[in-house]
Amino acid sequence: MITLSADPYAKKARASGFRSRAAYKLFEINDKFVIFKKGQQIIDLGASPGGWSQVASRKIGSNGLVIAIDKAYIQEFKEKNIVIEFQDIFKKDLDTFLLENYGKSDVLISDCAPNISGNYDQDHSIQSMLAQRAFELSQCVLYMGGSFVCKIFQGSETQEFVKSVKERFRTVKLFKPKSSRKQSSEIYLIARDFISDSE
């Protein structure tokens, strides 16, 4: 078992000023799939404590914007291109709120996860609902051609979820970053080239 202090990614994150070891998962995803471009607007769901937002912030530069959303507290960032929204992603009309306040976005990333209870079925079922909600929001807030990155727990519902995402995005891949713990069933879905309703 790896303790947090011995975990190389946790050490590296602390030394480099990232708020979570999860930052390295997003670096790996972006190295492989090239999600971010300068000047983009990014929605980060389940953003606390903020590692993913910091990575996205660097990649999009000072002309871009990261909207960091979580139902848990997020400490203010020193990066000027990150705004924090204290919201539950299941809140009704979150899509309208985002569109009215920020307009459409280029990328929606979701690292949302439940507090792990240890009950496999229960944890998987909540994770599936979080991923489903992230997918639903992506379809409301993304520009045509946009990208969606989402944590999922591999299980009985994965195949069905991938199938539904493929109906709205032209390219869909699954990827397990090296920095994702081997014993975790988490995997990331990377969906690119959103097909908007208006096409």
Ligand X SMILES: C[S@@+](CC[C@H](N)C(=O)[O-])C[C@H]1O[C@@H](n2cnc3c(N)ncnc32)[C@H](O)[C@@H]1O
Kindly state whether residue 177 participates in binding ligand X, applying the rule CB under 6 A: no
Tell me how far apart the alpha carbons of residues 47 and 68 are, in angstroms, rounded to a whole number.
5
Point out which residues pair with 65 in neighbouring strands. Answer: 41
* Annotated catalytic residue 104: no
40 C-beta neighbours (distance < 10 Å), count? 21
- Binding string, 22-41, against ligand X, x = CB under 6 A? xx------------------
Figure out which of the listed residues 36, 57, 70, 135 binds ligand X, where binding follows CB under 6 A: 70
Tell me how far apart the alpha carbons of residues 19 and 5 are, in angstroms, rounded to a whole number.
14
Site residue total, ligand X (CB under 6 A): 22
Tell me how far apart the alpha carbons of residues 36 and 81 are, in angstroms, rounded to a whole number.
14
Kindly state whether residue 113 participates in binding ligand X, applying the rule CB under 6 A: yes
Kindly state whether residue 2 participates in binding ligand X, applying the rule CB under 6 A: no
Figure out which of the listed residues 90, 103, 144, 196 binds ligand X, where binding follows CB under 6 A: 90
With contacts defined by CB under 6 A, name the span among 7-15, 17-25, 167-175, 191-199 that binds ligand X: 17-25
At closest approach, how far in Å is the CB of 55 from ligand X?
Answer: 8
Figure out which of the listed residues 112, 137, 150, 191 binds ligand X, where binding follows CB under 6 A: 112
Figure out which of the listed residues 10, 50, 153, 192 binds ligand X, where binding follows CB under 6 A: 50
Q: Which CA distances in Å does 11 have to 17, 18, 24, 74, 177?
A: 10, 10, 11, 21, 17
With contacts defined by CB under 6 A, name the span among 57-65, 96-104, 111-119, 137-145 that binds ligand X: 111-119
Half-sphere exposure at residue 124, Cβ-oriented, CA atoms within 13 angstroms: 13
92 C-beta neighbours (distance < 10 Å), count? 8
The two beta strands, 142-153 and 186-194, are antiparallel
The site for ligand X (CB under 6 A) is made up of: 19-20, 22-23, 46-52, 70-72, 88-90, 111-114, 130
